[in-house]
A and B are shown apart, each in its own frame.
Chain A
């Protein structure tokens, strides 16, 4: 029942003290930056340090900690000349971050040697125990990353998800990111004149143009959560036990659930998506409502049956 805020506050204090002790002079603004502090937070933590120390807790037993003009002063804290060890969660976080960026294929020799040194310090006998694989098979991630950094417009041939059609469009790439095992590029799409997120693996061809764009000052946090729109095709499906994995892979709404079946509402930009899913599930699912989807299943199913006869 420990508040994680207590732990993170203490963790930062125990990291701050050794840093300031070692420095000849520690500039306030540098400390704020380096330890991700607001001025109020730093003042509060220094005030806390100031009232702690050795048993007896008289003036000579307590640590000194205060701000003198633009400098952070900490003294009489010899027991805190080093920060505590990394916890396994902290070590994993930093190693995973380093390995992820190395795996993106855009890392520097400095990062590679940093990861090597950390691995040695954290798990000397288990260097193969952590694998982070985010590599994209194509070169597109690298091209898009460079275009985003240089603020250059790219022209892509894109096979859209759901609609299953191929279009050519110009986009202004803002960020390139990976989540849930796929790479995405987010930016302004000139074809629809709106902010859009594209799957990198669906980009067939890519061409960097000479056209420049200006990246907005504030770029929204990238995300790939599917947001239903009014034009969506909506249908109701009963899933039988063997098809329950669908709940984990599609953003569906569960309407009711029993041990025999689960009723879901499925929305997609095109009837093709639920139709392909239903054909794949066979007897493990049943379409309850959705005329457009039923028509598409009949149509596509009929063509597939001809091919497989």
Chain B
């Protein structure tokens, strides 16, 4: 690793200081660590080091050096390389350092790497007992976030089908990350942990997000409110022992005794699951078809007993 670190540092300095695009051959002849390699070993090494530069956030660009695009040259524009200064005050830097220590993403503290680039982690006094874990999918979320900010189309496998999407945003809700965007059939939501084989388009600015679009508007719902079942209203009674808890979930005022609530339903399965999670302390009063469905399920469960 020592050699790689030195070689990449030297390569980056060379690229930053070269006034004109440099070819792979220039690199091989000039930069320490690339000499004395066979052709094949050199190319493997160079490919790998370019990949390291991109992962560091270095804007490495490639230009054809002739009209036939036979030879390519590489550049790193020093102005584009430099991180823009967000103009944070000392107090704001401390607040971000505390936040980064409180939140985990992908198994480590979220944003500490970013803070290093912005001038390091500020020390803070006192203990903060709050914490949050935003799940494991840091890498795929990073790629999606890059695609969203640069307006690049994405393609991925989801439940064994290939989907194409103009990504508009990502949202963390009820413990899961969701990707929101527009496909050929309109706006869609996908669970990020079920996305496989993600590829991001090489061209930027391939779509325009509709004006005033807000990720939140697609997310504000209970699990039983979004689905493909014909929409009905269900009336549910909750015993006094669990009424406070149901009211909290539904965003209603906490009742003194029992609660009768009316909720819109477009996903019956989700509603039935929620109501039965209360055991016999909750009962769907209306409509009859949901009551029938619950009865059918219970009868089936009883029949399936050993």
Contact = CB atoms under 8 A, between A and B. Distances in A.
B41 interface: no
B182 interface: no
A137 B252 CA distance: 10
Interface string B1-19: 1101110111011101100
Contacts of B17: 54, 79
Contact of B130 (A6, A108, A177, A215): A177
A94 B172 contact: no
Main secondary structure of the interface of A (DSSP, over half): helix
B103 A101 contact: yes
A129 interface: yes
Contacts of A278: 301, 304
A294 B306 contact: yes
A117 B302 contact: no
Given A100-B132, A149-B127, A11 B56 contact: yes
Contacts of B103: 96-97, 100-101
A247 to B, nearest CB: 13
Given A10-B5, A93-B105, A305-B299, A85 B89 contact: no
A84 B58 contact: yes
Contacts of A39: none
Contact of A53 (B10, B57, B276, B299): B10
B251 interface: yes
A298 interface: yes
A93 B280 contact: no
A202 interface: yes
B116 A11 contact: yes
A91 interface: yes
Interface residues of A, number: 121
B294 interface: yes
B298 A55 contact: no
A281 interface: yes
A231 interface: no
Contact of B99 (A34, A36, A98, A222): A98
A108 B168 CA distance: 29
A286 B303 CA distance: 9
Interface string B85-112: 0111101111110111011010001111
Nearest to B9: A52
B102 A101 contact: yes
B262 interface: no
Interface stretch (A179-187, A206-214, A252-260): A179-187
Contacts of A272: 279
B145 A131 contact: no
Interface in B103-138: 103, 105, 109-123, 126-135, 138
Contacts of B131: 175-178, 222
Contacts of A84: 56-58, 81-83, 117
A286 B149 contact: no
A301 B132 contact: no
A84 B134 CA distance: 26
Given A100-B132, A129-B170, A9 B1 contact: yes
A155 interface: no
Interface of A: 1-3, 5-16, 19, 33-36, 48-49, 51-55, 57, 79-98, 100-101, 104, 106-108, 110-111, 113-114, 117-118, 120-123, 126, 128-134, 137-138, 141, 145, 148-149, 159, 164, 166, 173-182, 201-202, 204, 215, 222, 272, 276, 278-283, 285-289, 294, 297-298, 300-305, 307-309
Given A87-B146, A128-B169, A282-B298, 14 more contacts: A10-B8, A79-B13, A84-B81, A85-B58, A91-B145, A93-B105, A93-B110, A93-B142, A97-B99, A114-B96, A128-B216, A131-B215, A159-B245, A285-B304
7 contacts: A9-B1, A11-B56, A82-B81, A84-B81, A87-B146, A110-B91, A120-B86
List 9 tightest A-B contacts by C-beta distance, closest first: A181-B175, A89-B142, A88-B146, A94-B111, A282-B297, A34-B120, A82-B82, A148-B129, A114-B92
